[in-house]
Amino acid sequence: MSDKHKINLIVQKELHEGVLGILASHYTNQNGYPTFVLTDCTIESGQKAWKGSGRGVEELNLYDILSQVQDETGTLYTFGGHAGAVGVTVLDENIEQFKSKITEIVEDRLAHSSYAKNYIQLTTIEQRKEIAEAVKELKPFGNGLRLPIVELSYNVKEINLYYKSKHAKFLHKEPDKSGTKTIWNNFELWNYGGLEEAKILCNRDFVLSFDNVQKLINNGKTESEAQQQKYEKYIRKTKESRVTYKVEVGYSDFCGMGPRFNVLEVTF
């Protein structure tokens, strides 16, 4: 996988075919990107190939995307499925072209998807409570009824980076009920797969206050392992550092600890 692209592509030998769909669903649920997991196989003719499963996100039709890949490159040996889940087989000689083309198409479609133009701006705790209650009345979602998208904008007090899972956790400055002053509370937002993006903000407006590298080494990890699995805590050094998110809202009231939204976009 690459943090630079909005698609998870896992191409790995000797995976059990029975777990390909499970793995694809796991990665899509983890960071909100469409996922393809492929493993090596041999087709009837004796040729080497890669066979796998794909799992999608609300704004993309994976079957349509694979159809476009086939129309433009002819690289697919077989494929099938529907909008949210597909199966695909690619000859070994075509795998690199497949990876390049499907990444190009997915990122182009996400860049032109409608979510960025259709969202609700929320600025207070009370507004978020109201939308959370409304979401409960609308469920279940899916099959054409997508989760609502809201825009949230906050001053960030603290950022935690988790290198093993490559996600960032933001602690925010929250307006009180009257809106006349600001207070610190425990409102958190988790940006899965957003570690590299968050590091840009950390380097600009924050200072490192803690990491657990030495503790990991003391517990038997090598220096390299500790760096790959470390946790870092950054504290804001400037007066304000505002971050704006577009996120999908689930069923839970997201005024408490650690709501885990599907973050569609982050700007700062």
Q: What is the DSSP letter of 142?
A: B
Is the distance from CB of 7 to CB of 34 less than 8 angstroms? yes
| Alpha carbon distances (Å) from 196 to 5, 31, 162 | 12, 13, 10
State the Cα–Cα distance between residues 224 and 227, nearest whole angstrom: 5
State the Cα–Cα distance between residues 34 and 135, nearest whole angstrom: 24
Same domain, 26 and 127: no
SS3 at position 12: coil
> Over the chain, what is the mean pLDDT?
81
What is the pLDDT, as a whole number, of residue 256?
A: 45
Mean pLDDT of 43-63: 90
| Alpha carbon distances (Å) from 145 to 59, 127, 138, 142 | 11, 22, 9, 5
174: domain CATH number is 2.40.50
51 lies in which domain range?
8-112
What is the pLDDT, as a whole number, of residue 254?
A: 46
Considering only residues 41 and 122, tell me which one the structure prediction assigns the higher pLDDT. 41
Residue 1 lies in a domain: no
State the Cα–Cα distance between residues 193 and 33, nearest whole angstrom: 9
| Alpha carbon distances (Å) from 133 to 18, 255, 256 | 39, 12, 14
CB atoms within 10 A of CB 71: 9
What pLDDT, in 10s, does the model give residues 179-237? 555 454 556 777 777 888 889 889 888 999 999 999 999 999 999 999 999 999 999 88
Whether the per-residue pLDDT at 119 is higher than 70: the answer is no
Same domain, 23 and 139: no
Residue 20 lies in a domain: yes
Same domain, 71 and 14: yes
Same domain, 130 and 256: yes
Same domain, 137 and 217: yes
Q: Which of 58, 89, 112 is the last residue of a domain?
A: 112
Is the distance from CB of 253 to CB of 132 less than 8 angstroms? yes
Question: How many domains are there within the chain?
Answer: 2
Same domain, 105 and 129: no
Same domain, 259 and 156: yes
Residue 18 lies in a domain: yes
Question: Residue-wise over 9-43: b if at least 16 C-beta within 10 A, else e?
Answer: bbbeeebeeeebbebbbebbebbbbbbbbbbbeee
What pLDDT, in 10s, does the model give residues 72-118? 999 999 999 988 899 999 999 999 999 999 999 998 888 766 544 45
What is the pLDDT, as a whole number, of residue 34?
A: 92
What is the pLDDT, as a whole number, of residue 117?
A: 47
| Alpha carbon distances (Å) from 140 to 82, 114, 251 | 20, 21, 9
